[in-house]
Amino acid sequence: MLKDKTVVLGVTGGIAVYKSVDLVSRLKKEQANVEVIMTDGAKEFVTPLTFQTMSNNVVHHKMFSEITHYDVEHISLAKKADILVIAPATANIIGKIANGISDDLLSTVVMATKAQVVLVPAMNTVMYENPIVQENMSKLKKLGYEFVNPTSGLLACGDVGSGKMSEPAEILEYIKSYFVEKDLKGVNITITAGPTIEPLDPVRYLSNKSSGKMGYSIAKNAVDRGAVVNLITGPTKLTPPEGVNLIRVDTTLEMKDAVEKYFEATDVLIKSAAPSDYRPKNVADKKIKKKIDDNELTIDFIENPDIAAYFGKKKADKIMVGFAAETNDLIENASKKIDKKNLDFIVANDVTIKGAGFDGETNLVTIIDREKNRTDYPLMDKKDVAVIILDKVKDILKTKAR
Ligand code: PMT
């Protein structure tokens, strides 16, 4: 993924430096070339040898080091960088950059580079919330510097609060996203994900096994590719991707209302959710009690709207993608849904097959288009299925633009 990319990693003096060692290791696994610049403060926590060993490169830490090769080091690093990430970024380096100070190798490279600079702050809560630090950060944001925000938690100083550096996996994800081609820039994509829940009484509901992973993967890839994304989600345990407009719903009726709200501005509607087809006719206002003299309970259900079919009728030149979760006659059943719901294509998954459908990290899908041409894909990660779906959307958008 990061082959042929040079990540210049600035490391400043904070205890979170140990996480940056892990970050270098992850970047190397993605085949990035990593050039580490350490400040004097960083060297108090970890030696350059650690980063040298992890990055397989000489570590840069002196502004005026003896010449080993005939180029000006700060200019050569600044030019070499495809992205410059500073992790951890202390209040000091943030302040220096915001005020145009370049008094060491790292701050000088920042000043000299045309690459995107990304700051990953890590500091004590009081420092992080200090108005001066906050002002410096908003100034830098306005100037186009990016931030991977810290999280809240137990800090090395014993305080609990914001200022904890993001985890290496998250920083790596950010770097990878940066290099994804922005081929869906400005396209408005609404995605439904996860299950819906239909209450029976104040403590019970009817739902299904959808985890939301398929829909969230599509949302993540769409954001990475520059789309404007509305993610309408039933209840899930997942962390939503950064940058989406997240709309949480419970019931199928609420999901339909949410789609209605965003439908007009939507270019592409992707229905990966598993909405309940029925809901209890009456929702008890008190917990349904166990009957003493009867061991049966009968609940009447009424049909929920078919959201895809409803919007399929109004779609005009919008693109609509549906899913079909089947337990038998996959192709036949999925093909019927294309016409019934007026879809551009459908992603069919047989949810009885191991590794396909609900909950897991993978899916096994067949894509069927309006002409009933089908393409079978091997078992793959849901993240890769998302790429295939959005590639197909891109192709349709191109055809429509002609
Ligand atoms: O969330 P995961 O755990 O990752 O699982 C992924 C998934 C199995 C949920 C996903 O891959 C999938 O198949 N989603 C569709 C599930 C479903 O409801 O299938 P269906 O065949 O019943 O519905 C067909 C289409 O109509 C779907 O696009 C569905 O979103 C839509 N629909 C269904 C019912 C309804 N009332 N309104 C709808 O819009």
Q: Whose CA is nearest to atom 11 of ligand 1?
A: 357
Give 188-287+295-401's CATH code, choosing from 3.40.50.720, 3.20.20.70, 3.40.50.10300, 3.40.228.10.
Answer: 3.40.50.10300
Q: What percent of the chain has pLDDT over 90?
A: 89
Report whether pLDDT(67) > 70.
no
pLDDT range class, residue 31, cuts 50, 70, 90: very high
Can you give the pLDDT at residue 184? 98
Q: What percent of the chain has pLDDT over 70?
A: 97
Catalytic residue selected from 101, 112, 127, 157: 157
Quickly count: other Cβ atoms within 10 Å of residue 186's Cβ: 9
pLDDT range class, residue 152, cuts 50, 70, 90: confident
Q: Whose CA is nearest to atom 21 of ligand 1?
A: 324
Q: Is 349 in the pocket of ligand 1 (CB under 6 A)?
A: yes
Name the average pLDDT for the chain: 95
State mean pLDDT over 133-138: 98
Calculate how far, in angstroms, residue 217's C-alpha sits from the geometric centre of ligand 1: 15
Two structure tokens written together for 332: 């036949």
Quickly count: other Cβ atoms within 10 Å of residue 126's Cβ: 12
Mutate to test the pocket of ligand 1, among 210, 221, 238 (most ligand atoms within 8 A of CB): 210
Residues 111-133 have pLDDT tens digits of: 999 999 999 999 999 999 999 99
Residue ranges, comma separated, of all CATH 3.40.50.1950 domains in the chain are 6-178
Q: Is 213 in the pocket of ligand 1 (CB under 6 A)?
A: yes
H-state helical runs in 278-356: 307-313, 330-341
Q: Is 163 in the pocket of ligand 1 (CB under 6 A)?
A: no
pLDDT range class, residue 65, cuts 50, 70, 90: low
47 contact partners, CB below 8 Å, separation of at least 6: none
Residue ranges, comma separated, of all CATH 3.40.50.10300 domains in the chain are 188-287+295-401
Q: Is 233 in the pocket of ligand 1 (CB under 6 A)?
A: no
* CB-based contact 307:256 (threshold 8 Å): yes
Q: Is 357 in the pocket of ligand 1 (CB under 6 A)?
A: yes
The DSSP-derived string for 339-373 is HHHT-SEEEEEETTSTTSSSSSSEE-EEEEETT--
Residues 71-83 have pLDDT tens digits of: 566 788 999 999 9
Give the helix, strand, coil percentages of the chain, each rounded to 5: 35, 25, 40
Nearest atom (ligand 1) to Cα of 276: 36
Give 6-178's CATH code, choosing from 2.30.33.40, 3.40.50.1950, 1.10.150.20, 3.40.50.2000.
Answer: 3.40.50.1950
Can you give the pLDDT at residue 154? 79
Mutate to test the pocket of ligand 1, among 209, 260, 272 (most ligand atoms within 8 A of CB): 272
**157 carries an active-site annotation:** yes
State mean pLDDT over 275-299: 92
Report whether pLDDT(151) > 80.
yes
- Look at residue 297 and give its three-state secondary structure: coil
Nearest atom (ligand 1) to Cα of 356: 8
**Residue 195 DSSP symbol:** B
pTM: 0.88
Closest CA to 23 of 149, 161, 167, 119: 167
Residues 5-18 have pLDDT tens digits of: 999 999 999 999 99
Tell me how far CA of residue 139 lies from CA of 10, 60, 124, 125, 131, in angstroms: 20, 28, 21, 20, 12
Report whether pLDDT(4) > 80.
yes
Calculate how far, in angstroms, residue 384's C-alpha sits from the geometric centre of ligand 1: 18
- E strands of 155-259, at which residues? 160-164, 188-193, 198-201, 204-206, 228-233, 245-248
227 contact partners, CB below 8 Å, separation of at least 6: 184, 185, 186, 187, 188, 189
What span, in angstroms and rounded, lies between the C-alpha atoms of 167 and 184? Answer: 28
